[in-house]
Amino acid sequence: MGGKGLLIVISGPSGAGKGTVCQEYLKRHPETLLSISMTTRAPRKGEIDGVNYYFRDVETFEKLIEEDCFLEYAKVYGNYYGTPKGFVKQKLLSGRDVILEIDIQGALQVKEKFHEGVFIFIVPPTMEELKKRIEGRGSETAEELQRRFNSSFKELQFITRYNYMVINDRVEDAVMKIESIVTAEKCRVERNMSFYSELKGGIDNDLSIFR
């Protein structure tokens, strides 16, 4: 059966492990695509332009905002991040599922414009674990780490704006839950109306067979 792909929006506080969960999901579902965002932040060690992000300067980013090229964009920790509109729309129309791994501000913007999306919030099993994971990255200064932890804590309250919560205790379990969510979403009646019409059209509706 053809039809539109599913837009899967995944957010969660910094340190919840959403990146790892998304990567594992993509490994198991190579037909699903991850939207690569554009950002004005500098690449971290090992990050590659066009793979992790499109790294661009503020001027370029703001020009693209003016040209309405983003499905959503937000400033996170002082840097711009945005989702390329054309890529996402094109891929969904061609029937591919697309994952957006974006922050809460961005997810709320997408929710306004795109009611068919499925919005998943990844949470850590405990706040201690969250702190450990943020520290474990070792890529930021102490001040930056504290800032990330504080904002992660604040971000938790936005969970009520999402459709699903996935606790990321073990990555495999979190991935399995996302697989279940995707499967259930694809079975929703409102997503299958055209299939239903086709099915119904194939029935001989002549009730004389009962007489």
Question: In the complex, which residues of this chain contact ligand 5GP (CB under 6 A)?
Answer: 14, 37, 41, 72, 74, 76, 81-83, 101-103, 105-106
Shortest distance, CB of residue 172 to ligand 5GP, whole angstroms? 21
User: Is 6 in contact with 25 (CB distance < 8 Å)?
Assistant: no
Cα–Cα distance measured from residue 104 to residue 58, given in angstroms and rounded to the nearest whole number: 21
**Residue 42 or 209: which CB sits closer to ligand 5GP?**
42
Cα–Cα distance measured from residue 47 to residue 53, given in angstroms and rounded to the nearest whole number: 8
Cα–Cα distance measured from residue 32 to residue 107, given in angstroms and rounded to the nearest whole number: 19
Shortest distance, CB of residue 106 to ligand 5GP, whole angstroms? 2
**Residue 153 or 195: which CB sits closer to ligand 5GP?**
153
* DSSP assignments along 182-208, one per residue: HHHHHT-GGG-HHHHHHHHHTS---GG
Phi and psi torsions of 168, nearest 5°: -95, 80
Shortest distance, CB of residue 32 to ligand 5GP, whole angstroms? 17
Give the residue nearest to ligand 5GP (CB): 106
**Residue 14 or 32: which CB sits closer to ligand 5GP?**
14
**Residue 52 or 192: which CB sits closer to ligand 5GP?**
52
**Residue 75 or 188: which CB sits closer to ligand 5GP?**
75
Shortest distance, CB of residue 99 to ligand 5GP, whole angstroms? 11
- How far CA 176 is from CA of 4, 15, 127, 171, in Å, comes to 23, 20, 23, 9
Shortest distance, CB of residue 46 to ligand 5GP, whole angstroms? 12
29 exposure class (CB count in 10 Å sphere: 0-12, 13-18, 19+): middle
**Residue 38 or 182: which CB sits closer to ligand 5GP?**
38
* DSSP assignments along 52-107, one per residue: TBEE--HHHHHHHHHTT-EEEEEEETTEEEEEEHHHHHHHHHTT--EEEE--HHHH
Shortest distance, CB of residue 193 to ligand 5GP, whole angstroms? 31
